[in-house]
Structure 1
Amino acid sequence: MPASLGKQKIWTGEKKQDNRAQHSKPLVDQLFAFCEKQSQRGDLLPDDSWTKALNYTVQRKRQLMVFLENPDVAMDTNHLEREIRSIPMGKKNWLFCWTELDTKHVGLIKSLISTCKLHDIDPNVYLTEVLQRVRTPSQGRRRLNNEAMEAPVCRQSIKIAIVLSVNDSLE
């Protein structure tokens, strides 16, 4: 790998878009031209995996090129894949959860933690705050739901915390 590509430069806005237009767009255009040319070949069978891959790529051309037009869209999903990697890695640890409900709780908590990390929120502080509010009587839950619209973490995570709390109190 060339030294210039070894470290990712942190650019924003127009500079990132200009760099993508200069370096990535020609490569992307070549890729799609190749895919379109290959998909026109007469010797490929419709059920062939290569044909399916070519058709998949050509049909999603617009979606795959979004990163060229919008500098805020990542070129890949590596950051998301790294974040969820701990879920399959933890499967052995969760193998001995007592019940199926416990494994669902572990998955929900892991999802909350991953969401916090993606939004640059300290998961410990966030979960402590949410769980303290959920444990209080209905006034705390009402206040939590009202503030959910302003929270940087999605409302779904707050609903999950409330469900976990209610399930725990029922057991």
Structure 2
Amino acid sequence: MNIGIFTDTYSPQISGVATSIKIMEKELRKRGHNVYIFTTTDPNADRESEKGRVFRMPSIPFLFFPERRIAVAGVNKFIKLVGQLDLDIIHTHTEFSLGLLGKKIAKKYDIPSVHTYHTMYINYLHYIAKGKILTPAMVKRMTKSFCESYDAVITPHFKSEASFRRLSRA
């Protein structure tokens, strides 16, 4: 299979999401799949070793978490590239820039899509302007809205599954 993974967090960044994706990528390749990573630029990335398998969109540090990045350009280039790669499935690992792009591309090309819900955002609200910008009700609406168009949503842990189930209920 030709698998496209869309993420705002990827090596050399260090996080649970980046580690999870690296393990998944390695295991899928061992099984003979072609895995393409669509992610944000990173000044510490080894571009030479990534050639042909990791595609990076221009990005800037995310306002509230500067160690994370958010894509700012390159949408049309990625849309064309996905058309050339003939992806069989799109797997997103973020609800932000690359996750939104993965959703858009899956819809445009009628490609099945899966989303991994990694982060329990309710637990992070206090980091974003001390919880005064985003409320739990807003997170619930955003989670439900983002995830409802996927063919499947998976979680890496029973805690994130419980959080997702609470947030995605009507």
Name the TM-score class by shorter chain: under 0.3
Which protein has greater RCO, CA pairs closer than 8 Å, 6+ apart? 2
Greater strand content: 2
TM-score normalized by structure 1?
0.23
TM-score normalized by structure 2?
0.23
Greater helix content: 1
| Higher Rg | 1
